[in-house]
A and B are shown apart, each in its own frame.
Chain A
């Protein structure tokens, strides 16, 4: 049984002091239900997650207690992707017809401070200052730039593009364009990455209503079909965040594995994709993820980005809503934001940030600690 997305809802990302994370999730859920033309009591099951704003199933307190199975999902930056994959399988298996996926969060300012013990690491690892996701991303792109000739200018251009796209998206947090020069000259955080090249923890909520594909037209004039939803964790030998050591023999990371599986499941290839949302925790991640997801060869990003290929009007638009850089990263909501954006784009409803040419296939990718990746392929 194929699966369709028939309702989408979002609470603007950024900082909303007046609403809790849960309330932002409920706001998004109500919009998604309204978009699908259904009531909360019609929903047969739900999956959801938040990292810092409580259990997602507390949404029942906001939306009504209807007795449905509501499963809390906690899977780091891939929480939204994991919820979606679980819901996809629940419908695909024939178990349910109509469900809701929700993600929301509300994080404190500043970098995440992860707990070494929760990740099976010694306390010493955090004490000496190695428990920082930002260091991993910096070291990964440092090595990548060395191996494949990516320049610091390209890092700055990725952030510049994100803020341009954010300025066109009414739900984005960062809505002011920032020039590549400003990005490059902002405070160095983890060499070679400056402050404006990193996303920040933030707030926001997203919800999606999913149903059996054969009933999609009952709810939505322009349903979008979920052709694949894949989650992979790291294999031995991949270079991952929070690793006190790594193997001398390196293998592909979970992004490559998830991407290949998703393309195979959907029966399409990277060249068929009209737009992508790729995890851009920082500028370097977007660059590396372009190749890891199969959209170019390693090193080609230098030319592609310089010539505007990844901009909204380019040949391979990436992070058309501003990505994590312009939206911030409320962990529970972040992966679902990407799916929301692609549904909007495939419906042709993205307004000022609409990709021209009536896009038909959209791709989303999240990556997070300690080495997990989720990919979806959507088709209108």
Chain B
């Protein structure tokens, strides 16, 4: 995802936020909550249901493949709290979209593709997990991304 050259071998991989997705895991997945009263799912995990105010909530792994509901490309580098390893010089525009996960919710996330010509509503995408930034101590901060299915497995 990002330039991770120079990472020391002993670095740790840490999730960008606890409870956002299963990590470490053989097949990581985003974690959602589902209301036991009304069945509505939410991401990230919420302690109460925004639909019915219910507080009986179950945590579940969300599907890892979905369809792109809408998208844009962020063409300029955001101000903080944006926190990456990029500088104004190395910033590259990035795609953002909502991925509709069947039976679950539409989740907002960064796309691995930033070419508007290659993005269209309804395309299939996988949820992948990759390094977002490298901390000064060498720790890799892991986040989630949506990747076009055609590219799955082709990019490390």
**A237 touching B51 in the complex, CB below 8 Å, given contacts A130-B110, A245-B43:** yes
User: Contacts A245-B43, A245-B105 given: A124-B16 contact, CB under 8 Å?
Assistant: yes
Question: Beyond A130-B96, A191-B116, is A139–B44 a contact (Cβ under 8 Å)?
Answer: no
Quick check: is A236 within 8 A (CB to CB) of the other chain? yes
Q: Closest chain A residue to B30 by CB distance?
A: A245
Q: For window 127-171 of chain A, which residues contact chain B by CB distance below 8 Å?
A: 127-132, 135, 138-140, 142-143, 146
Q: How far is the CB of B90 from chain A (nearest CB, A)?
A: 14
Q: Which residues of A contact B72 (CB under 8 A)?
A: 135, 138-139, 142, 190-193
Interface residues of A in 104-128 (CB under 8 A from B): 110-111, 113, 115-116, 122-124, 126-128
Q: For A143, what are the chain B residues with a Cβ–Cβ distance below 8 Å?
A: 69-70, 121
- Cα of A188 to Cα of B75 in the assembled complex, Å: 7
- Across the interface, B50 reaches (CB within 8 A) one of A129, A135, A236, namely A236
Instruction: Give the residues in chain B near A135, CB-CB below 8 Å.
Output: 72, 74, 96
> CA A127 – CA B20 in complex, angstroms?
14
A187-210: CB near B (< 8 Å → 1, else 0) gives: 111111100000000000000000
* A122 with B44: CB separation less than 8 A: yes
CB–CB B75/A128 < 8 A? no
Q: Is the CB of A129 within 8 A of B74?
A: yes
CA distance A63 to B69 in the complex (A): 52
Cα distance, A138 to B82, chains bound together (Å)? 19
Bitwise interface map of B from 1 to 38 toward A, beta carbon under 8 Å scored 1, else 0 = 00000000000000011001000000000001000000
Report chain A residues within 8 Å CB of B140.
Answer: none
A244 to B97, alpha carbons, bound, how many Å? 10
* A248 proximity list for chain B (CB < 8 A): 100, 104-106
Inter-chain contacts of B138 with A (CB < 8 A) = none
A18 interface hit (Cβ, 8 Å) = no
In the assembled complex, A246 has its CB within 8 A of some CB on chain B: yes
- Taking the complex as formed, is B59 at the interface, i.e. its CB lies under 8 A from any CB of chain A? no
CB-CB under 8 A for A132 and B108, given A139-B97, A191-B116: no
Question: Chain B interface (Cβ within 8 Å of chain A)?
Answer: 16-17, 20, 32, 40, 42-44, 50-51, 69-76, 78-84, 94, 96-98, 100, 104-110, 116, 121, 132, 143
